[in-house]
């Protein structure tokens, strides 16, 4: 904190206007007062002084449900709330209910639960100087506790309520919990602290800040500890992603502002990232953390014998523990580098080598294979009950992401949007991210079981009248190999054959030496078409479909370049081939919108040089068809969208 002060004092004589506070890309210009006033206020907060009373009419409560997504302001004295699962969200200092990622957090919860989501608006007091706001926090907690006791009287019991607070909002949650215990003899079910406010609180005893006694279960995500956030353990379970202080992907360019802006924007991004992690955890239970063995602000590692999942699915285990993990800000996106891996490269290499050795495939817990339905009337998606899926009979396409990806990246959302624009169809994205997040060699061993689980789901659709022989699977990378095992399971176990599988640069590592019954091949559906864009590296190089397309000869894609100024030479190579590998999805998306990828039957084909015979033309992508012979086709593309040359 001394470092921050020394930086801020340099600029203490400037005044600023309100702009985008509590959003990413925050700078000093987003403060609505001079920095010197904040510093004086802050110092005052450290001195001994009484906490202040509030006017409770300024603490407001907004209710959101699946049938009222735009929200209704509640009467805090006589709240009209239906008895169901209830979660309160509490924003941070200088924020309000329209920023601090509160709308996104609310939307994620409503997507997952048919619940009451109540956002607490305490922005009147949050807008004051930090040191002054600090003195109001216990009174704000008391006001929320009174409101919760009124809900308790309606049958929404305190011991079932979950509070989720960011920054100083986490400290508000703490005082709410303390007020309920001390004044009413009630204890909250859970408090989740998202990078709890650190300034001033760093030297406070446990009864004047968030700690594990404030609810039955207190879990904490530290993302900017020692700066805007509280660094030390303060929950039953504390998570320290990227060691808890600086977050992967929170960067800033000096060309966009002053050096002070560089520092402030960096730590503001780190601080807010805790909310982003919570949102992602609600949608996908993927933040696997290890019990800390070594933990400081720059270096940490964990013991794999004790695993916990950070975020919504965190649980109170047998001991109060710190957990550490790394995060993936850009994995499965363009511009991927080695820094985006959540584990060391040497571990991945060992895993890959072990995958090449003989060993049994592994069973899975099928509850981790999830299916999200998107239609033109439900573009934001609905999670299906995999046992009793409610799906209308219409054209149906399943999209399957690749290794280390999930349904929000790997271009899955863009692919889904393109399909919905073209067809009034059921687009179902398969979420197998729980297993995709494991080491490559381990993930490889789960693929047949994942294919079996998807085949069972498709048989349930078949029983609804969405017949197997009309279903199209589109899989990228290892997702294409998942598609293959899905097709094989349907044939071998149910005597059914899929209409079509489209393999988008099917995963190559390990699969390169596997027989056809252990990877994608043309027997896995009535029609199998394949787009090879990084064959021989991340993708499978050889022919494996009825029709195989090799844009730009199938290994290196036009426009996939990298700069050595942005990282190491290894990053240069990795970013290049990752771009090549992902480009297959971009081509597929463009082909759905515009049928322009004219390919020629190959006459010469290798990884660097290829040309075709103009007498036999086929269109790569969505409009590919099974012609009179199983053929390889070649074509060249533009370096950027539109990629097709017609």
Q: Supply the CATH number for residue 295's domain.
A: 3.40.50.1820
Q: 584: burial class by Cβ within 10 Å (0-12, 13-18, 19+)?
A: buried
Highest mean pLDDT range out of 41-50, 340-349, 473-482? 473-482
- Structure tokens that stand for 457 in this block: 């789901």
Instruction: Check residues 114 and 338 and name the one with the higher pLDDT.
Output: 114
Residue 497's pLDDT band (boundaries 50, 70, 90)?
very high
Highest mean pLDDT range out of 26-35, 156-165, 280-289, 343-352? 156-165
* Span between the terminal Cα atoms of the chain, in Å: 59
| Window from 206-210, 236-240, 300-304 with minimum mean pLDDT | 300-304
Q: Which residue has the tokens 């005082």?
A: 175
Can you give 37-88 as a three-state secondary structure string? HHHHHHHHHHCCCCCCCCCHHHCEEEEEECCEEEEEECCCCCCCCCCCCEEE
- Cis status, amide bond into 229, omega within 30 of 0: no
Closest CA to 481 of 571, 402, 590: 402
In-domain check, residue 8? no
Closest CA to 326 of 343, 307, 345: 343
Q: How many domains does the chain have?
A: 2
Instruction: Give dist(CA 513, CA 519) in Å, integer.
Output: 10
Element (H, E) at 436: helix 433-436
Contact call for residues 266 and 278 (beta carbons, < 8 A)? no
Which pLDDT value is given to residue 8? 41
Residue 343 pLDDT exceeds 60: no
Q: Which structural domain, as residue segments, surrounds residue 374?
A: 346-378+394-635
In-domain check, residue 84? yes
Which pLDDT value is given to residue 3? 36
Residue 361 pLDDT exceeds 80: yes
Q: 499: burial class by Cβ within 10 Å (0-12, 13-18, 19+)?
A: middle
Strand segments (E) across 340-460: 370-375, 378-383, 396-400, 426-431
Distances (CA, A) of 43 to 275, 385, 388: 28, 54, 59
Instruction: Check residues 5 and 39 and name the one with the higher pLDDT.
Output: 39
Contact call for residues 216 and 187 (beta carbons, < 8 A)? yes
Instruction: Give dist(CA 362, CA 591) in Å, integer.
Output: 36
Q: 139 and 266 share a domain?
A: yes
| Window from 210-214, 281-285, 628-632 with minimum mean pLDDT | 628-632
Instruction: Check residues 17 and 184 and name the one with the higher pLDDT.
Output: 184
Which pLDDT value is given to residue 331? 53
In-domain check, residue 10? no
Long-range contacts, stretch 284-288, CB < 8 angstroms, 24+ apart: 284/406, 284/407, 284/408, 284/431, 284/433, 285/309, 285/311, 285/312, 285/313, 285/368, 285/434, 286/406, 286/433, 286/434, 286/437, 287/239, 287/241, 287/311, 287/325, 287/327, 288/325, 288/437
Which pLDDT value is given to residue 159? 93
Q: Work out whether the CA dihedral 423, 424, 425, 427 comes out positive or negative.
A: positive
Residue 254's pLDDT band (boundaries 50, 70, 90)?
low
- Structure tokens that stand for 353 in this block: 């080598």
Which pLDDT value is given to residue 489? 98
Q: 321 and 352 share a domain?
A: no
Instruction: Check residues 294 and 431 and name the one with the higher pLDDT.
Output: 431
Q: What is the pLDDT of residues 224-252, one digit of tens each?
A: 999 899 999 999 999 999 889 988 878 76
| Window from 51-55, 327-331, 374-378 with minimum mean pLDDT | 327-331
The pLDDT of 471-493, averaged and rounded, is 98
Backbone angles phi, psi at 496, to 5 degrees: -115, 150
Closest CA to 144 of 94, 226, 88, 200: 88
Q: 204 and 173 share a domain?
A: yes
The pLDDT of 220-225, averaged and rounded, is 95
Specify the 3-state DSSP secondary structure of 181: helix
In-domain check, residue 518? yes
Residue 329's pLDDT band (boundaries 50, 70, 90)?
very low
Specify the pairing of strand 370-375 against strand 116-121: unpaired
Q: Name the average pLDDT for the chain.
A: 86
Q: 451 and 505 share a domain?
A: yes
Which pLDDT value is given to residue 153? 96
Residue 196 pLDDT exceeds 90: yes
Closest CA to 574 of 400, 331, 326: 331
Q: 187 and 313 share a domain?
A: yes
Residue 347 pLDDT exceeds 70: no
| Window from 135-144, 348-357, 451-460, 481-490 with minimum mean pLDDT | 348-357
| Window from 378-387, 555-564, 582-591 with minimum mean pLDDT | 555-564
Instruction: Give dist(CA 107, CA 123) in Å, integer.
Output: 20
Instruction: Give dist(CA 560, CA 577) in Å, integer.
Output: 8
Q: 362 and 277 share a domain?
A: no
- What per-residue string of b and e applies to 116-150 under the rule 16 or more CB within 10 Å gives b? bbbbbbbbbbbbbbbbebbbbbbbbbbbbbbbbeb
Q: 171 and 278 share a domain?
A: yes
| Window from 33-42, 551-560, 571-580 with minimum mean pLDDT | 33-42
Which pLDDT value is given to residue 125? 96
- What per-residue string of b and e applies to 352-371 under the rule 16 or more CB within 10 Å gives b? eebbeeeeeeeebebeebbb
Instruction: Give dist(CA 124, CA 594) in Å, integer.
Output: 52
The pLDDT of 267-273, averaged and rounded, is 91
Which pLDDT value is given to residue 321? 73
Q: What is the pLDDT of residues 529-545, one digit of tens each?
A: 999 999 999 999 999 99
Q: What is the pLDDT of residues 374-409, one digit of tens each?
A: 999 998 889 999 999 999 999 999 999 999 888 888
Q: 355 and 247 share a domain?
A: no
Instruction: Give dist(CA 374, CA 427) in Å, integer.
Output: 5
Which pLDDT value is given to residue 563? 54
Q: 502 and 539 share a domain?
A: yes
DSSP code, position 106: H
CA 548 from chain centre, in angstroms, equals: 32
Backbone angles phi, psi at 472, to 5 degrees: -115, 125
Q: 281 and 169 share a domain?
A: yes
Q: 408 and 551 share a domain?
A: yes
Instruction: Check residues 561 and 620 and name the one with the higher pLDDT.
Output: 620
pTM of full prediction above 0.75: no
Instruction: Give dist(CA 198, CA 190) in Å, integer.
Output: 21
How many Cα atoms are found within 13 Å in the side-chain-facing hemisphere of 644? 18
Distances (CA, A) of 393 to 111, 408, 525: 23, 25, 21
In-domain check, residue 121? yes
Residue 20's pLDDT band (boundaries 50, 70, 90)?
very low
In-domain check, residue 32? no
Task: Count Cβ atoms below 10 Å from residue 527 Cβ, excluding itself.
Answer: 18
Contact call for residues 89 and 164 (beta carbons, < 8 A)? yes
- Structure tokens that stand for 452 in this block: 């079996």
Which pLDDT value is given to residue 48? 59
Contact call for residues 223 and 269 (beta carbons, < 8 A)? no
Residue 10 pLDDT exceeds 50: no
Element (H, E) at 463: helix 440-464
Specify the pairing of strand 162-166 against strand 190-194: parallel
In-domain check, residue 237? yes
DSSP code, position 559: T
| Window from 7-21, 178-192, 198-212, 245-259 with minimum mean pLDDT | 7-21
Which pLDDT value is given to residue 292? 77
In-domain check, residue 383? no
Q: 321 and 356 share a domain?
A: no
Instruction: Give dist(CA 46, CA 497) in Å, integer.
Output: 70
Contact call for residues 498 and 535 (beta carbons, < 8 A)? no
Query: What is the four-CA torsion angle of 295, 297, 299, 300, rounded to 10 degrees?
Result: 30
Which pLDDT value is given to residue 302? 73
| Window from 106-120, 198-212, 545-559, 624-638 with minimum mean pLDDT | 624-638
Instruction: Give dist(CA 520, CA 137) in Å, integer.
Output: 59
The pLDDT of 476-497, averaged and rounded, is 98
Which pLDDT value is given to residue 353? 72
- Structure tokens that stand for 215 in this block: 């609810």
Instruction: Give dist(CA 62, CA 253) in Å, integer.
Output: 37
Share of residues in the chain with pLDDT > 90 (%): 63
* Residues paired with 166 in a beta bridge: 194
Complete edge-to-edge strand list for the sheet that includes strand 321-325: 68-73, 60-65, 116-121, 86-90, 162-166, 190-194, 217-221, 237-241, 321-325, 288-295, 300-309
């Amino acid at each position: 904190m001394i470092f921050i002060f020394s930086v801020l004092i340099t600029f203490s004589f400037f005044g600023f206007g309100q702009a985008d506070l509590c959003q990413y890309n925050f700078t000093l210009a987003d403060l609505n007062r001079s920095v010197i006033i904040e510093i004086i206020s802050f110092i005052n907060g450290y001195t001994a002084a009484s906490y202040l009373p509030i006017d409770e009419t300024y603490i407001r409560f907004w209710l959101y449900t699946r049938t009222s997504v735009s929200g209704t302001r509640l009467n805090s004295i006589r709240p009209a709330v239906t008895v169901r699962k209830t979660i309160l969200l509490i924003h941070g200092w200088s924020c309000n209910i329209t920023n601090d990622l509160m709308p996104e957090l609310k939307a994620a919860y409503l997507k997952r639960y048919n619940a009451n989501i109540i956002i607490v608006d305490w922005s009147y007091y949050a807008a004051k100087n930090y040191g002054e706001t600090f003195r109001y926090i216990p009174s704000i907690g008391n006001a929320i506790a009174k409101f919760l006791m009124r809900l308790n009287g309606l049958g929404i019991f305190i011991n079932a309520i979950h509070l989720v607070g960011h920054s100083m909002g986490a400290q508000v949650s703490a005082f709410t919990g303390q007020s309920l215990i001390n004044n009413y003899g009630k204890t909250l079910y859970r408090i989740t602290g998202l990078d709890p406010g650190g300034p001033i609180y760093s030297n406070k005893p446990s009864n004047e800040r968030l700690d594990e006694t404030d609810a039955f279960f207190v879990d904490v995500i530290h993302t900017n500890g020692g700066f805007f956030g509280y660094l030390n353990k303060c929950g039953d379970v504390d998570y320290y992603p990227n060691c808890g202080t600086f977050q992967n992907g929170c960067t800033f360019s000096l060309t966009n502002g002053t050096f002070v802006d560089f520092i402030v924007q960096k730590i503001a991004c780190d601080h807010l990232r805790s909310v982003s992690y919570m949102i992602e955890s609600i949608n996908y239970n993927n933040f696997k953390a290890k019990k800390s063995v070594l933990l400081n602000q720059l270096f940490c590692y964990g013991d794999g014998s004790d695993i916990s999942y950070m975020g919504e699915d965190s649980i109170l285990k047998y001991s109060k523990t710190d957990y550490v993990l790394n995060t993936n800000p850009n994995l499965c996106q363009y511009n991927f580098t080695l820094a985006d891996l959540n584990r060391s490269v040497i571990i991945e290499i060992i895993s890959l080598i072990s995958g090449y050795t003989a060993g049994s495939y592994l069973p899975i817990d099928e509850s981790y294979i999830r299916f999200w339905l998107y239609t033109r009337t439900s573009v934001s998606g609905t999670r299906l009950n995999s046992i009793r899926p409610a799906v209308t009979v219409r054209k149906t396409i399943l999209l399957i992401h690749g290794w280390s990806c999930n349904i929000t990246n790997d271009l899955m959302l863009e692919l889904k949007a393109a399909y919905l624009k073209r067809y009034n169809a059921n687009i179902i994205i398969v979420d197998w991210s729980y297993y995709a997040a494991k080491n490559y060699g381990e993930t490889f061993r789960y693929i047949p079981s994942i294919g079996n689980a998807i085949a069972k789901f498709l048989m349930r659709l078949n029983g609804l009248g969405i017949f197997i022989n009309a279903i199209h699977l589109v899989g990228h990378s290892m997702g294409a190999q998942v598609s293959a095992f899905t097709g094989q399971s349907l044939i071998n176990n149910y005597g059914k054959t899929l209409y079509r599988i489209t393999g988008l640069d099917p995963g190559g590592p390990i699969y390169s030496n596997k027989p056809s019954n252990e990877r994608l091949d043309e027997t896995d559906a009535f029609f199998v078409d394949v787009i090879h864009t990084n064959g021989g590296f991340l993708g499978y190089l050889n022919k494996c479909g009825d029709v195989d397309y090799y844009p730009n000869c199938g290994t290196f894609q036009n426009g996939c370049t990298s700069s050595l100024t942005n990282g190491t030479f290894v990053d240069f190579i990795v970013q290049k081939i990752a771009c090549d590998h992902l480009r297959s999805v971009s081509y597929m998306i463009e082909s759905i919108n515009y049928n322009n990828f004219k390919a020629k039957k190959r006459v010469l084909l290798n990884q660097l040089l290829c040309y075709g015979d103009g007498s036999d033309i086929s269109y790569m992508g969505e409009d590919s068809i099974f012609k009179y012979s199983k053929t390889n086709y070649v074509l060249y593309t533009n370096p950027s969208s539109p990629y097709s040359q017609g």
